[in-house]
Every structure is written in C-alpha cells, then in structure tokens.
C-alpha cells in the first residue's frame, strides 16, 4: 500500500503552551476514507491544520506522497472544505457556477474571461455533487447543505487527490447529511480520491469508511 500522508512523531503546542498533540504517528493510504474522531478539544482541527501547513509542528514530520510538507508544492491537489458558516460564505449574490469557476482563475490568470471549456469543467464539478440545477442560483440563497456541496464542487475542479473536511455535517439536516456521504463515498470509490474528515457523526457513515482514527490523550488510537 502507498502512503499518501505519513505523520511521524508529531508534537505540537500553541505558542509554547502544553502539547496538544504528542509523539503522534500514523499513515493514511491512497484511497483511504478516514474519519477522525475525538472529544472536543482533543486536537482534531489542529491535526488538520498541521497537515495543511497552516500550523507548523513543534517537532516531528509530515510527508505527503513521500515529500516532506516543508518542500511540498502541489497544494492545489489537496482540497480543503472548511466548516460552512456565515463567515466563509460570500454574502453577495455570486452564483454557484461563478464560485466554482473562481478556483480555475488561479490556473488561467485572473483577467481572462472564462472560456467555454472552463464553464464545462465547472458544470461537471456541479454535476458530481448533484447541484447542476443550482448553477445560476446565488450561493447566499442556498441552504447549508447546498452550500456545502458547492464548496465541494469548488475543490473538485482542481482534480484533487485528497479531500479534507472539518465537521462537514454541522448544521445540516439528516437528508442532506446522507446525500453528502453518498457523494463522498462516490468520490472515494469511483474517483479514487482519498478522503479525511473530522466528524461526530460516525454512526450514519461508518459502513463506507476504510478506517476510523481517534485522537485521545494527545495521540492517535486506530480503531
Ligand atoms: N489558536 C489557538 N490558540 C491556543 N490554543 C488553541 C488554539 N486553537 C485550539 N487551541 C486549543 O488546542 C486544543 C485542541 O483544539 P482543537 O481545535 O484542535 O480541538 P478539536 O478536537 O478540533 O475540538 P472540537 O471537537 O471542539 O472542534 C484545545 O485545548 C484548544 O483549546
Ligand atoms: Mg475542531
């Protein structure tokens, strides 16, 4: 099995306080669909931020596809879908299609017009999350579950190898949760995308996971 992410003896504390994570080691394999669970404050979000290099370890190392993340360059192959809340959803009337296409501008340069192929790409991404019908709907007129799916489409447009979610189901109803998990399972099984998510909703999705990882006492317990 190929490790897509390797974490070795990772310790971390916020600005010199006590360690939140301590000598934590574990590997994630290509095509894994992993849930990270643990009590409030156990360090789940901190671990995701360390993997995304938003925080730097106090000691230890993290590798993505055998490259130390200090030297890793292909961040556009890693999709991060943050928890949806009012502060990360634009409150102006940008449509689903526009917001998904935005992620392509990094590639095509900001001042070029969207070409037809880019619009087609964006529509494909919307189709993958069952949101094509909402292409021209402003995102601030959608429900939380619909916004969540638009944000997934936005990250899909760069053909990610890894998708990372922090509590994607907070504040969405049961049917939207089920739909979200169906989409994630499809992306994992059919498109081979490695999925890592922090969740408190293990029960409704455990059958589709390849592994559950618990953070307890600053370390990882693989269940
Ligand atoms: N920016 C910060 N500065 C200082 N301490 C922090 C900071 N962010 C988190 N912490 C502390 O680090 C610990 C781990 O927090 P973290 O957010 O990673 O937990 P979590 O497992 O994601 O919790 P939750 O389930 O509530 O989201 C907690 O004790 C928290 O108070
Ligand atoms: Mg958290």
Q: Which amino acid residue places its CA nearest to atom 26 of ligand 1?
A: 40
Q: Could you tell me what percent of the chain has a pLDDT over 70?
A: 94
Atom of ligand 1 nearest to the CA of 48: 18
Q: What is the pLDDT of residues 99-149, one digit of tens each?
A: 998 877 665 555 555 677 888 999 999 999 999 999 999 999 998 889 989
Whether ligand 1 lies within 6 angstroms of the CB of 43 is answered as: yes
Q: Residue 46: nearest ligand to its CA?
A: 1
Can you count the helices (H) and strands (E) in the chain? 6, 10
Per-chain mean pLDDT for the chain: 89
| Site to substitute for ligand 1 among 14, 19, 51, 52, most atoms within 8 A of C-beta | 14
Q: Whose CA is nearest to atom 29 of ligand 1?
A: 41
Look up the CATH number of the domain holding residue 80: 3.40.50.300
Dist CA 105 CA 107 (whole Å)? 5
More confident residue, 106 or 178: 178
The total of structural domains in the chain comes to 1
List the alpha helices (DSSP H) in the chain.
44-51, 96-108, 116-128, 144-156, 174-189, 202-205
Confidence of residue 1 (pLDDT cuts 50, 70, 90): low
pLDDT at 207: 85
Ligand closest to 38 (CA) is 1
Instruction: Characterise 38 by phi-psi region: left (phi > 0), alpha (psi -120 to 50), beta (else).
Output: left
How far apart CA 106 and CA 50 sit, in angstroms, is 24
Q: Give CA–CA dist 156/126, Å, rounded.
A: 9
Owning domain of residue 143: 3-222
Decide if pLDDT at 168 tops 70: yes
Alpha helices, DSSP H only, in 75-128? 96-108, 116-128
Can you give the pLDDT at residue 107?
Answer: 58
The per-residue pLDDT for 90 is: 80
Pocket test for ligand 1, best of 12, 18, 38, 43 (most atoms within 8 A of CB): 43
What's the Cα-to-Cα distance from 126 to each of 176, 185, 205, rounded to whole Å?
A: 16, 16, 23
pLDDT value of position 106: 61
Q: What is the arithmetic mean of pLDDT over 44-73?
A: 96
């Amino acid at each position: 099995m190929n490790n897509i992410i390797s974490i070795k003896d990772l310790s971390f504390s916020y600005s010199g306080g006590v360690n939140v994570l301590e000598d934590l080691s574990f590997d994630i394999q290509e095509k894994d669909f992993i849930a990270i669970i643990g009590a409030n404050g156990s360090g789940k979000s901190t671990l995701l931020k360390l993997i995304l290099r938003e925080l730097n370890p106090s000691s230890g190392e993290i590798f993505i596809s055998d490259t130390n993340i200090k030297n890793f360059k292909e961040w556009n192959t890693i999709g991060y879908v943050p928890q949806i809340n009012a502060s990360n959803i634009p409150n102006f009337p940008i449509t689903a299609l526009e917001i998904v296409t935005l992620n392509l501008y990094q590639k095509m340069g900001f001042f070029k017009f969207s070409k037809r192929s880019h619009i087609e790409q964006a529509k494909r991404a919307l189709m993958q999350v069952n949101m094509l019908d909402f292409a021209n709907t402003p995102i601030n007129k959608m429900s939380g579950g619909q916004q969540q799916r638009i944000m997934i489409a936005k990250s899909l447009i760069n053909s990610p190898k890894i998708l990372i979610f922090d509590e994607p189901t907070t504040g969405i109803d049961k049917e939207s949760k089920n739909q979200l998990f169906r989409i994630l399972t499809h992306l994992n099984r059919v498109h081979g995308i490695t999925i890592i998510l922090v969740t408190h909703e293990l029960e409704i999705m455990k059958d589709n996971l390849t592994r559950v990882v618990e953070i307890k006492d600053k370390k990882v317990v693989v269940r």
